[in-house]
Chains A and B, each alone.
Chain A
Amino acid sequence: MGVVSRSVGNAFRNKVRSGAVVVILAVAIGLALAMLVANQAVGAKVDSLKASVGNNLTVNPAGSRGGLGGGNPLTTADATKAAAVAHVTGVNGTLTVRLANAATASTSGSAGGPADRGGAAGRFGSSGTTSLVSAVQPGVLGQRNNGTGSTGSPTGGTAGGTTQPTFTIPIQATGVSSPTTAAGTALKLTGGAQLSDFAANSTQALVGSTLAAKNSLKVGSTFTVQTRTMKVTGIFDAGDAFDNNGIYLPLAATQTLVDQAGQLSSLNVVVDSIENVAATQAALTTALGASNVDVTAGSNNLQSAITSLGTVQNISLIAFIASLVTAGLIVLLIMIMVVRERRREIGVLKAIGASNRTIGVQFTLEALVLVVLGTVVGAVVAAFSSNPIVSALVAGNTGSTVSAAGPVRGGGFGGGGFGGGGFTRTRGAFAGASQLIGTISTSVGWQTLVLGAVGILAIAAIGALIPALLTARVRPIEVLRGE
């Protein structure tokens, strides 16, 4: 019979009360565990989203989108200014141009007269020509203008006696100074190699997979841009039909070919850390002039998704702490009750030679027995509650994230494996209460679990120690005599 077995025995002296305490503790601790799981799951999601966002900002001429329109084009001087802004670790300028099919362009160009309108439409604001034929067919992308044109063509042809020019989607050529896309991520190649020669006279080119298929291009094949013969060094897959209808060329070569030396259509700015993205965005706007440029966190929508997820993360953290504190308070109140009830016993123990420490240890162990039991039952509670809790938190969040991701997807960021997929995976991981332990240990990590356990036990120990020591400090006769 030592202090441990005495404490275990004391924990069950009042079985009804101990049972009730264990149940209440189990609910609080179970909730705390469920919140910990939710917190970690959301945290992991935020991390992966942050990783997919990267630390990039995009600078475009004011009012422009996707390299078209807008005011004054950017220049290499702007790139230098951007590089000087605090927290900027890298600046990649790109020049995006539209290349019309050489044959179509010359046909429409030679039509003259009333066909001028058609000619302009055919060139579609393009700044150069290429031998490539666009893989995107009119209509495929919902080009209603052209659809009307096509159906109107026989009528117009008979009526006006002019041939409506064949409408083609121009091919987007992006001049890059390093093997990255405008969004700052490396292109995924399905064959060949990344660009390596970035000189003005380089003949290297990357061709999108659908464009390559349409024009029967393979690695090593050639085609022309303006007057230069380019050689396909690699075929890329950017994830959607529009992007795969484009080509990537060395920046200097692009500038030379379309006669836009020193001009850039956008800057991709790399920021040292995700935390500084917002501040750097503001600093860049100031440095380059708010009226001249638009600086977008390539990920504005993604960022807001992260923010909303972060809110969920904070809520679950607060709920975790609140549940822990609740558990601690339950232990404290119960131990105050138990100690009051056993004041006389504390007096006797002191009178026959127990130290304050011995008394503190005995009551702390007694509280820990209750807490350990509460934790075991609470883990079972958590096993059944964390599944609905996590899916409620994450599912509620999925709705907002998906709607936030909607426009992003349209903007070309959708390919990053973001959207429904990630959440489905998260939810899948929480399917089934039986997986709880595995899920916690993998998603939360044993360190966090041990930390949580130590936290609960520490709170319980404090809850038991305070009343026990306060009582033990008085003279034995005072507690022996009772109230």
Chain B
Amino acid sequence: MLQVKDVVKSFNSGDRTIKPVNGVSFSLEQGTFAAILGKSGSGKSTLLSLLGALDKATSGDVIVDDVNISTLPDRKLTAYRRDDIGFVFQSYNLIPNLSAKENVMLPMEFAGVSHGERSKRAAELLNQVELTEEMHGRLANRLSGGMQQRVAIARALANNPKLILADEPTGNLDDETGELIIALLRQLAHGKKTTILVVTHDHALAAQTDRKFRLARGQITEA
């Protein structure tokens, strides 16, 4: 379902070039729950942003369901981000002046879902990540870090993406809530055949995944 072929991403910082992703290749079957591990600054977030079409690789191909997103024009990339990908940012990135529910409704608005349907589904998703009704209407910037993280996860699930890319989805959660999110992701991967790739330092999470990769010095190895 996902094929990553010899992907390189280099940055020019000052007079030297750094390559946090330097020739990464791997592939995932549909419905796989996979984790990427690695030290801070090893390039995990950089790799995820390439897979989510938030950034363009310096070289190499990212192929999702036989479509090479490295060569897609901007309009197609918009559709890819909207319909195929659910992205959970390491720093959540909610829209601060919208409520939790409005944040979850946004991707559905872009996909043209009716207001009634958006509202209904957003409420369901927020309930799934155990955000109580009274929090649904609260502005995103008035939520705790863990609550914001759960809203971000709910938002990533909104359009039923076939690939979920989550950067440290349990990083800010207590063990109990973390377990809940892990169970939810497992259920999506194994029940709904959603392919899930998480970046994590959380051993509890890594232990639950089907495959584990380690990123170091720009290279990926399966652990």
Interface residues of A (CB under 8 A from B): 1-3, 6, 9-10, 13, 344-345, 347-356, 358, 473, 475-478, 480
Contacts and interface: CB of A to CB of B under 8 A. Distances in A.
Interface in B78-123: 78-79, 81-83, 87, 89, 93-95, 97-98, 102, 105-107, 109-111, 115
B93 to A, nearest CB: 5
A353 B55 contact: no
Contacts of B102: 1, 6
Nearest to A476: B54
A354 B115 CA distance: 16
29 contacts: A1-B105, A2-B109, A2-B115, A3-B109, A13-B97, A347-B54, A347-B93, A348-B93, A348-B94, A350-B78, A351-B87, A351-B89, A351-B93, A352-B81, A352-B87, A352-B107, A352-B155, A353-B79, A353-B82, A353-B107, A354-B82, A355-B110, A356-B74, A475-B55, A477-B49, A477-B54, A478-B55, A480-B54, A480-B89
Nearest to B87: A351
Given A353-B107, A355-B78, A6 B93 contact: no
B31 interface: no
Contacts of B83: 353
B98 A352 contact: no
Contacts, number: 71
Given A6-B102, A480-B54, 13 more contacts: A1-B105, A344-B93, A349-B95, A349-B106, A350-B81, A351-B87, A353-B78, A353-B159, A355-B75, A356-B78, A473-B74, A475-B54, A477-B54
Interface in B109-139: 109-111, 115
Contacts of B52: 351
A188 to B, nearest CB: 71
Contacts of B109: 1-3
A349 B87 CA distance: 12
A464 to B, nearest CB: 18
Interface in B153-196: 155, 159
A9 B102 CA distance: 12
A281 B31 CA distance: 92
Contact of A475 (B56, B87, B95, B106): B56
B176 to A, nearest CB: 28
Contacts of B87: 351-352
Nearest to A345: B95
Nearest to B94: A348
A376 B78 CA distance: 38
Nearest to B110: A353
B8 to A, nearest CB: 16
Contact of A354 (B78, B94, B97): B78
B110 A352 contact: yes
Interface string B45-89: 000010010111000000000000000001100110111000101
Contacts of A3: 109
Contacts of A355: 75, 78, 110
A358 B74 contact: no
A1 B98 contact: yes
Contacts of A9: 97
Contacts of A354: 78, 82, 106, 110
Nearest to B118: A1
A242 B181 CA distance: 105
Contacts of A353: 78-79, 81-83, 107, 110-111, 159
Contacts of A345: 95
Contacts of B105: 1
A73 B38 CA distance: 112
The CB with the most chain B CB atoms within 10 A, among A1, A347, A358, is that of: A1
Nearest to A3: B109
B195 to A, nearest CB: 18
B55 A477 contact: yes
7 tightest Cβ-Cβ pairs between the two chains A and B: A353-B82, A477-B55, A477-B54, A353-B110, A476-B54, A348-B93, A1-B102
Nearest to B99: A1
Given A356-B74, A476-B54, A480-B54, A351 B81 contact: yes
B159 A351 contact: no
A347 B111 CA distance: 17
B170 to A, nearest CB: 20
Contacts of B110: 352-355, 358
A35 to B, nearest CB: 37
A262 B149 CA distance: 105
Nearest to A344: B93
A62 to B, nearest CB: 78
Contacts of A358: 110
B78 A348 contact: no
Contacts of A348: 89, 93-95
Contacts of A10: 97
Nearest to B156: A352
Contacts of B56: 475
A12 to B, nearest CB: 10
Contacts of B97: 9-10, 13
A355 B94 CA distance: 18
A6 B107 CA distance: 14
Nearest to B96: A345
B153 to A, nearest CB: 13
A368 B110 CA distance: 21
A128 B39 CA distance: 122
A427 to B, nearest CB: 50
Contacts of A350: 78, 81
A13 B78 CA distance: 27
A38 B79 CA distance: 52
A332 B81 CA distance: 30
A352 B80 CA distance: 10
B129 to A, nearest CB: 16
Nearest to B79: A353
A6 B78 CA distance: 20
A345 B49 CA distance: 16
Contacts of B94: 348
A2 B95 CA distance: 14
Contacts of B155: 352
A481 to B, nearest CB: 9
Contacts of A351: 52, 54, 81, 87, 89, 93
A54 to B, nearest CB: 63
